[in-house]
Structure 1
């Protein structure tokens, strides 16, 4: 709205600006719902072109998308050979018409740089989705008993981590500090 006003002197309502942006995104990137239908083909080509890559899609009885998982072969090889098995897991909500949640597991490499590890996506952040994601995660780790999993202690994550009985668990210091500020004001 501001760009149109400043550059062209056109005043747009919020609704018109939103619909215009939506139309442009549709023209540039295509229909968001059709992209889910292409996911199987994309994952197939990802595995074919990237040796060692593991992907998985789960759908429900109505053939609706439920969960997705992706671990690139080069990341798997690097993780299982040279990366410290200190894994941080978290989720972020996707802001689009389709919605959903992106589940991520990351580590740090020897240079203290973030090492993207595995990705998942689902409709909601709950115990079932975290358990499914962490089971897929377990498939690509050579020694899951040596892991340390750090999280914000979301109930879904805590329940999902139960599939790793020997793995150590830690709490994210950032989330812990925020919780302390919020709940212990004195």
Structure 2
């Protein structure tokens, strides 16, 4: 700001200005969490069989969310090999958290999304909750993950008969 516009701006003020603009453009992320039940309801209405779940804590604060769209399950049941890859992605936004995804590959070797789960952090409890929700759907021949302790514990508890493998990248 000083070099381009000749304005002396302290870091703290620049950060607050950036946050204000982000709230103006994208809205407050905490308000977005409050709108999730309405969004999930609207998502389920035109998509029969779609399942969404939200888990809250004793203080009625968001803990986990789960989305599986029926079209993804139908495609998985009829077209996709029953090999599911599960991994977590740490979100770097203002709210942070974790996005857990379950994906497969279709006949063209393209990534096929199956379901999503998001939570405030990655732990065995939230991962077990996700895998239990996933268990209500198709049969699984093999599950592949990065062998995070929470994912491994959840998969072994919920899918004891499925083969559990590790990503070659993590093995290396």
Corresponding position of 1:154: 148
CA RMSD of aligned residues (A): 1.7
How many Å separate the matches in 1 of 2:4 and 2:81? 51
SS for the counterpart of 2:45 is helix
Give the length in aligned residue pairs. 171
* 1:18-167 superposed matches below 5 A: 18-141=15-138, 143-144=139-140, 147-162=141-156, 163-167=158-162
Moved over 2 A (4+): 4-21
Q: Secondary structure of the residue that 1:39 maps to in structure 2?
A: helix
Structure 1: where are the runs of 5+ without partners?
178-186
- Deviation by residue 1:51-108 (Cα, 9 ceiling, x = unmatched): 2211111111111111110011211110111101111111111122322111111111
Q: Mark the CA change 1:12 to 1:140 in structure 2 (over 3 Å): closer, same or farther.
A: farther
Distance 1:159 1:126 in 2: 10
What's the offset of the Cα at 1:44?
A: 0.6
5 and 85 in structure 1: CA distance in 2 versus 1, 3 angstrom threshold: farther
The superposition leaves residues 134-177 of structure 1 with CA deviations (integer Å, 9 ceiling, x where unpaired) of 00111122x23xx2111111000011102101111111011111
- TM-score, normalised to structure 2, is 0.91
Asked whether the 8 Å contact 1:52–1:76 carries over to 2, the reply is no
- Give 2:169's aligned residue: 174
CA shift in 2, pair 1:15/1:165, >3 Å: same
- Matched residue of 1:87: which SS? strand
Distance 2:67 2:34 in 1: 16
TM-score (norm 1): 0.85
Unpaired runs of 5+ residues, structure 2, are none
Conserved 8 A contact 1:58-1:67: yes
